[in-house]
């Protein structure tokens, strides 16, 4: 039987079909991170820190160096608010040296630093912190708006959360935010969410960690971020995310609820802390809360993950471990 369609018609049909196929490739930039020869990775997480060494920033940095050496860390994650009070004025701003390069000087911290932006970073020249030119001053600095770090057994998805928060647009309280690269806001947010959803869905990593500046859940002064609860959380829950890690509130905390499989972790104790505020209605969900300075470490193998929180003296405040045996890890050779 002959076809009713000629070659020309077929190619039009094919073109139409192809154009209807959803675009699958993720738009986020992916950075490849090597893992250790034993197949594990370990890293530190710090947030809300750049204050020229003040408010115990230097003491936290010193302890990070010691724990980093003990764990032989592979990299450092920053949950944002990298430079106070108002980000960087330009790529020549001495705050880069005074609050970063000259502070985190321990040998163990001379590893890649993966950083997201916080709301304070948006109050300066936002493009300065994003500029690859900073790497000629300090090659550790890898700061982008939203991006992925692919460490084989784990993928870290960094999300630019500041543009999600309505108050910065509707009631900026005298602050100037540098929204270059974000406007128009609606399409920026939609694109970010769509690209994150695609990246998470396509990820084959055993562990998925999402990092943003603002908390989805927090008992400290900023509380839950309602925009992230409604827009971001459903995407994370639908895509087997293990951890959501944030800063913004200047404390350390671990929240785990029966409504969500995700562990909510705040590491925002990089310098100024002790806000003296706590408001959480379900004590059974609050696994750990510390109102002072400190940081967190994460160690991951194919089947295990361990999280530790430390104070400004390097004392261990809280530990949490989990394991995951996946179908592909089972040995059926018997």
Candidates 92-100, 240-248, 289-297, 321-329; binding stretch for Zn ion (CB under 5 A):
240-248
Candidates 62-70, 80-88, 167-175, 203-211; binding stretch for Zn ion (CB under 5 A):
80-88
Question: Rounded distance, CA 81 to CA 212, Å?
Answer: 11
Annotated ligand binding at 213? The verdict is yes
Which one of residues 119, 146, 218, 239 is an interface residue with Zn ion (CB under 5 A)? 119
CA nearest to 62, candidates 298, 251, 311: 311
Candidates 227-235, 241-249, 255-263, 314-322; binding stretch for Zn ion (CB under 5 A):
241-249
Runs of H (alpha helix) within 57-141: 57-71, 95-96, 126-130
The residue to which tokens 């989990």 are assigned: 322
User: Do 211 and 157 contact (CB within 8 A), yes or no?
Assistant: yes
Runs of H (alpha helix) within the chain: 7-20, 57-71, 95-96, 126-130, 166-170, 185-202, 226-231, 233-238
Annotated ligand binding at 119? The verdict is yes
Which one of residues 112, 118, 269, 270 is an interface residue with Zn ion (CB under 5 A)? 118
123 vs 248, beta carbon nearer Zn ion: 248
Residue 294's DSSP bridge partners are: 311
81 near Zn ion, rule: CB under 5 A:
yes
Q: Total number of residues binding Zn ion (CB under 5 A)?
A: 4
Annotated ligand binding at 291? The verdict is no
Candidates 35-43, 137-145, 247-255, 322-330; binding stretch for Zn ion (CB under 5 A):
247-255
Active-site residue, from 214, 222, 254, 318: 222
81 vs 125, beta carbon nearer Zn ion: 81
269 near Zn ion, rule: CB under 5 A:
no
User: Do 232 and 193 contact (CB within 8 A), yes or no?
Assistant: yes
Annotated ligand binding at 248? The verdict is yes
CB 243 to Zn ion: min, Å? 19
Residue 295's DSSP bridge partners are: 310
160 near Zn ion, rule: CB under 5 A:
no
CB 200 to Zn ion: min, Å? 24
Phi then psi dihedrals of residue 307, to 5 deg: -120, 135
CB 10 to Zn ion: min, Å? 56
Annotated catalytic residue 254:
no
**Paired tokens of 70:** 């003990």
84 vs 113, beta carbon nearer Zn ion: 84
CA nearest to 201, candidates 8, 26, 322: 26
CA nearest to 328, candidates 237, 206, 238, 243: 206
Question: Rounded distance, CA 150 to CA 8, Å?
Answer: 43
Binding mask of the shown chain, residues 193 to 232, with x at each position contacting Zn ion by CB under 5 A:
----------------------------------------
248 near Zn ion, rule: CB under 5 A:
yes
Question: Rounded distance, CA 188 to CA 230, Å?
Answer: 17
CB 17 to Zn ion: min, Å? 46
Cβ-Cβ contacts under 8 Å for 18 (sequence gap 6 or more): none
Residues that bind Zn ion (CB under 5 A): 81, 118-119, 248
- Binding-site residue positions for Fe cation: 48, 81, 84, 119, 213, 248, 250
* Residues involved in catalysis: 222
Binding residues: 48, 81, 84, 119, 213, 248, 250
């Amino acid at each position: 039987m002959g076809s009713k369609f000629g070659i020309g018609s077929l190619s039009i049909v094919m073109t139409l079909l192809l154009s209807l196929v959803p675009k699958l490739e993720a738009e986020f930039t992916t950075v490849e991170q090597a893992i250790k020869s034993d197949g594990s990775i370990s890293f530190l997480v710090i947030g809300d820190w750049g204050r020229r060494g003040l408010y115990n920033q230097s003491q936290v940095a010193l302890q990070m160096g010691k724990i980093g050496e003990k764990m032989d860390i592979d990299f450092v994650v920053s949950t944002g608010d990298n430079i106070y009070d108002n980000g960087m004025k330009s790529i020549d701003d001495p705050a880069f040296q005074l609050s970063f390069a000259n502070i985190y000087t321990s040998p163990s911290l001379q590893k890649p630093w993966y950083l997201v932006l916080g709301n304070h970073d948006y109050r300066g020249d936002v493009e300065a912190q994003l500029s690859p030119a900073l790497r000629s001053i300090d090659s550790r600095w890898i700061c982008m708006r939203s991006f992925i770090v692919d460490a084989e057994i784990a993928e870290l998805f960094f999300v630019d959360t500041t543009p999600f928060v309505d108050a910065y647009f509707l009631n900026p309280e005298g602050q100037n935010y540098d929204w270059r690269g974000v406007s128009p806001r609606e399409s920026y947010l939609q694109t970010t969410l769509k690209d994150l959803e695609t990246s998470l869905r396509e990820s084959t990593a055993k562990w998925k960690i999402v990092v943003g500046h603002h908390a989805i859940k927090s008992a400290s002064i900023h509380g839950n971020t309602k925009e992230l609860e409604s827009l971001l959380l459903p995407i994370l829950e639908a895509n087997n995310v293990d951890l959501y890690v944030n800063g913004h509130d200047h404390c350390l905390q671990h929240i785990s609820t029966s409504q969500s499989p995700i562990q909510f972790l705040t590491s925002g104790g990089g310098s100024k802390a002790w806000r003296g505020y706590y408001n959480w209605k379900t004590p059974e969900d609050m696994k750990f809360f510390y109102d002072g300075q400190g940081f967190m470490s994460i160690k991951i193998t194919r089947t295990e993950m361990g999280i530790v929180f430390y104070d400004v003296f390097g004392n261990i405040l809280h530990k949490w471990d989990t394991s995951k045996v996946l179908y592909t890890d089972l040995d059926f050779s018997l």
